[in-house]
Structure 1
């Protein structure tokens, strides 16, 4: 009888440990208590820079007729995407810094993760589309106006925005149907998929394999397409007869290539590192690069390295 009571007690304890979590706690950078005010100020400034810089690119490319080209059409979409991408995570973290309330409901966490993954997927696809646009412009200039029509550009842009939505909704649903044990504290500054998976009970190997398969489809494949495009672009540029022509061709691609390296480089290190090498501190620092640093430098990279954008910005200032 005593044995049966002991077994029953252990079962009850196990059920309590496997909780249906109602909310999570985003720890953020709570291990740096003396820097919370400093982080709040820095991230607030960064968010304003991202909003203003990327909004300026959207406005300039829309208002200046000289920039009504496929290259700048996709750049405007990319800047809009960057604003949305950052707005999914950074404002929520700023509120937690200002109010010291780090809790986030299960639904809010799931929504944030789903939007973050969907927009990150859209960014991968759009960067691949932008590489394809440069490939057509440099390697097939005679066919470029015929292929990259306004209708085709809109289709590619819409496909980039919506391409990974259904996959990431399914991915999010699979993660949030898991049970979470012992702790509801997410050692991150937003609801990212790997830190949440660490809180799940039991064997999560199937979910981990699913994550890697999805990342391969939505990130590795676009990255390979970008590499193929740029290998052909570079080969074509090197065959140009004049140094001036090679310089101009390289200048139109270098900005995009730099953004690709920043975004895909840090994201790949985060998601493709062996599980044994993962640490919360490193993951958070790497996440800062592809969630905040890249959107911050996007306007700087594209404006300072692109004479057409600089000229359009000067014309806009003269009109105001």
Structure 2
């Protein structure tokens, strides 16, 4: 319940209605109504929230072609709050995702993500900003491994809420040539990895069998510790938000993290989300998360999702002239 309360509070912050300080009105876009008239916002904030629920189901009866009855449901929320006044900006984004699939009476997690990014910027040139940022990411729910386990074991927990979680701070220079693309370069970006549940610690045997071991180093956090600090590191982040057409949008994000002490193990993360609006209430989404982090896994990890379902969006962002 604590996890749900935290997520609800975060989403509520992004979705809070703007206060009125001026009798003039502006048009707020939403998919349930073409336009909604609200009092003019003079707080320098622009906000948006998009949420969707995807549902998939398949059932078979005497089907000689084979198949497994299944039900899948997932939820996605993307929120943004942007403050702009003079040369100062404060951009906050949150991406939440959680999904499950049930087959043969067994329910497993299909997708999971909680990531929040906050960037404070000050313009020094038309296309350049000085910035300070904070990035936090973890999982909502426990995650399990089902393959390469010891005999007699059907599942092994390998992740959970704050197991692990990462929080990175960064200072540096940002290049913003237009409203669609930005790149932030930080030569000093300390990062902290938290591990609050020793149950997710495991080691890999000689035959690649996964063995639970509370004395193993997990996600870079040594046994007996709950936090790993990386003080000296380089971070590069690139964001590209593109409206491909009236009903199709692309959101892409890339992050490089290089600890100066372990430059032979540079971390890379790619997030890609394509959303297509079918009509006022329905949309389809395609998402990919690619991660290369040797502290997590000695290889490239991929999470891919595709769904169709209900969508809600509302925005007070002003159209650029």
> How does the TM-score come out when normalised to structure 1?
0.24
Greater relative contact order structure (CA < 8 Å, 6+ sep): 1
Higher-Rg structure is 1
TM-score, L = length of structure 2: 0.23
Q: Identify, as 1 or 2, the structure richer in helix.
A: 1
